Amino acid sequence: MCNDCADIGEPYTTGDNAHVWNGQLWLWLDWQKSRLFHVNVLKLVTSPLIEKVSVIYHVDGKEIVDIVFKGAGTGQLDESMTVITEFFSCK
């Protein structure tokens, strides 16, 4: 529940005020997975269940893959997780 919903005591789940939050996943990949990710990322971002994919570069030199996807509020969490896990399980 977002802060606005908490203020009124209930979530906006119906009508004109309905809203949902996307899911977000941060991943720290080893160098092999990172290389495969960069080569194949367009396969992931073409899914309608994926909202945004970014790479964040940490001060210690590590890459953080940031994936924003259709979350639980959309009823598509399981499908989104399937897309993401299948993408990263490819060899």
Buried b (16+ CB within 10 A) or exposed e, 52-74: ebeeeeeeeeebebebebbbeee
pLDDT tens digits, 5-49 = 666 665 555 555 556 678 899 999 988 899 999 999 999 999 999
pLDDT tens digits, 55-85 = 999 898 889 999 999 987 777 889 999 999 9
pTM score over 0.85 = no
**CB-facing half-sphere around the CA of 85: CA atoms within 13 A:** 6
CATH 3.30.70.60 fits 20-89, yes or no: yes
